[in-house]
Amino acid sequence: MSDVSARVVIVGAGHAGGSAAALLRQYGWQGPITLIGGEPVPPYQRPPLSKTWLHGAGALADLLLRPAAFYRSSRIELQSACNVLAIDRVGGTVRLAQGDDVAYDHLILATGAHARVLPVPGHDLAGIAVLRSLTDADHLRSLIVPGAHIAIVGAGYIGLEVAASARSLGADVVVIEREARVLARVASTPLSDFFQRRHAEAGVGIMLDVTVDAFEGVGGRVAAVRLTDGTVVACDAALVGVGVVPNDALAQAGGLACDDGIVVDRAARTADPAIHAIGDCTRRPLPLYGRTGRLESVPNATEQAKQAAADLCGRAPPPPEVPWFWSDQFDIRLQIAGLPLDVAEIVVRGDPQSGSFAIFHLTGGGVVQCVEAVNAPAEFMAGRMMIARRRPAVASRLRDVSCSIRELAG
């Protein structure tokens, strides 16, 4: 067991870092905890940024993971608006942008990810937004006004969630996607078809199989997106939502193994016994799937925060969780459990036209690997249990809505 009176420094005050600090106290850590974050606010939830926050609903206090007073009362020293520039693993310190060094006995890297830039001419024109932080969201919110023409590059979750929000706010929206379907990287074809139809019904323009050549501006401000086929899409503002890149440069410069994310084990340990890494910045084992991967989700950030805190406090590791994720668009709540890996068969349960259905992904042996549930919380819960149990399911019974989903999971 670790010396629970030692000094823990956490770099990155986002979902993972904020959760780890709180869990360390909950699990009995007595020593100093310093939580250092580059943003000017305490740890907050990012999911609302593409959803309710764009509608102007809620205050900052509603976004925060915990009230600011929690850190004081829990003896967690929160240093906001403070970037860490380097790690000295030999000396056991981190160097702050302000010039000070902060000493650690244990370091937790929770540096998250940043929005990928589209490397085309004009990408830095005014009126082009990305969406990762609260500052980004406030910028985007100022651009989405009724009647504005908004071009969204990328039909992933961020792009589609913002499209739904912007449309509800009365903006004119066009989504520009390189792949042949929306959500191509992250969802099955039936799910893509469903979302594509719902967005089209709501008046969102969707352009597929097209590539951005450049952003064109007038007076330094974006006025159009030019595609490689010569099409010009006029716009007043644009959002680029083409994925994220893990913030692993600090770890790399410190000599830690990185492979599109900081490489960690099941307890969120790096190869350095004094350093853990958690959240979007990591490449982690996926025990149910026999491989490693990078997960970008709140449940993953929380799970790895538990792993690191339990490991440091000498507690039993938390049981491996089935990865899960959610997305809200219009009146649709999508919940996904598991990952669509090694899939031989896809089973659709329910009628997509009804707006409530689920898609189960099975291996050749019938083991459920993933469920995509649209306004279908019972199927989501049942699917999660089936994924964890690894027992083969019978596809014809899953498809048959007269078979109780609870009995199938039981």
Q: Which is nearer to ligand FAD, 47 or 127 (CB)?
A: 47
> Which is nearer to ligand FAD, 83 or 356 (by Cβ)?
83
Q: Which amino acid is at 18?
A: G
Contact between 294 and ligand FAD (CB under 6 A)? no
Which of positions 203-242 make contact with ligand FAD (CB under 6 A)? Answer: none
105 binds ligand FAD (CB under 6 A): no
Backbone angles phi, psi at 107, to 5 degrees: -120, 135
Q: Which stretch binds ligand FAD (CB under 6 A): 58-66, 106-114, 163-171, 348-356?
A: 106-114
How far apart CA 107 and CA 87 sit, in angstroms, is: 9
Going by C-alpha positions, the residue among 307, 302, 349, 348 that lies closest to residue 325 is: 302
Cβ atoms 315, 306 nearer than 8 A? no
Q: In what helix (H) or strand (E) does residue 84 lie, and over which residues does it extend?
A: strand 84-88
Residues between 147 and 176 that touch ligand FAD (CB under 6 A): 158
* Side-chain-side CA neighbours of residue 239 (13 Å): 34
Residue nearest to ligand FAD (CB): 14
Q: Residue 79 belongs to what H/E stretch?
A: strand 76-79
Query: Considering the rule CB under 6 A, would residue 307 count as an interface residue with ligand FAD?
Result: no
Q: What type of residue sits at position 38?
A: G
Query: Which stretch in 65-73, 194-202, 294-302, 341-349 sits in contact with ligand FAD by CB under 6 A?
Result: 294-302
CB of 283 to ligand FAD, least distance (A): 13
Tokens of 57: 């609903």
Question: Angle CA(45)–CA(47)–CA(50) in degrees, nearest 5?
Answer: 125
Under a CB-based contact definition with an 8 Å cutoff, are residues 303 and 318 in contact? yes
Nearer to ligand FAD, 278 or 409 (CB): 278
Of 52 and 74, nearer to ligand FAD (C-beta) is: 52
Q: Would you give the binding string for ligand FAD spanning residues 237-276, x where CB under 6 A is met?
A: ----------x--x--------------------------
- Which CB, 206 or 301, lies closer to ligand FAD? 301
Q: What does the buried/exposed string (b/e) look like for 41-55 if buried means 16 or more CB atoms within 10 Å of the residue's CB?
A: bbbbbbbbbbbebbe
373 binds ligand FAD (CB under 6 A): no
Residue 341's CB: how many other CB atoms inside 10 A? 15
Judged by CB under 6 A, the stretch of 10-18, 198-206, 256-264, 400-408 that binds ligand FAD is 10-18
**Residue tagged 């590059």 (tokens):** 153
Beta carbon nearer to ligand FAD, 122 or 324:
324
We find the least distance from the C-beta atom of residue 219 to ligand FAD, in angstroms, to be: 29
Binding site for ligand FAD (CB under 6 A): 11-17, 36-39, 46-47, 49-50, 83-84, 110-113, 131-132, 158, 247, 250, 279-281, 296-299, 301, 325-327
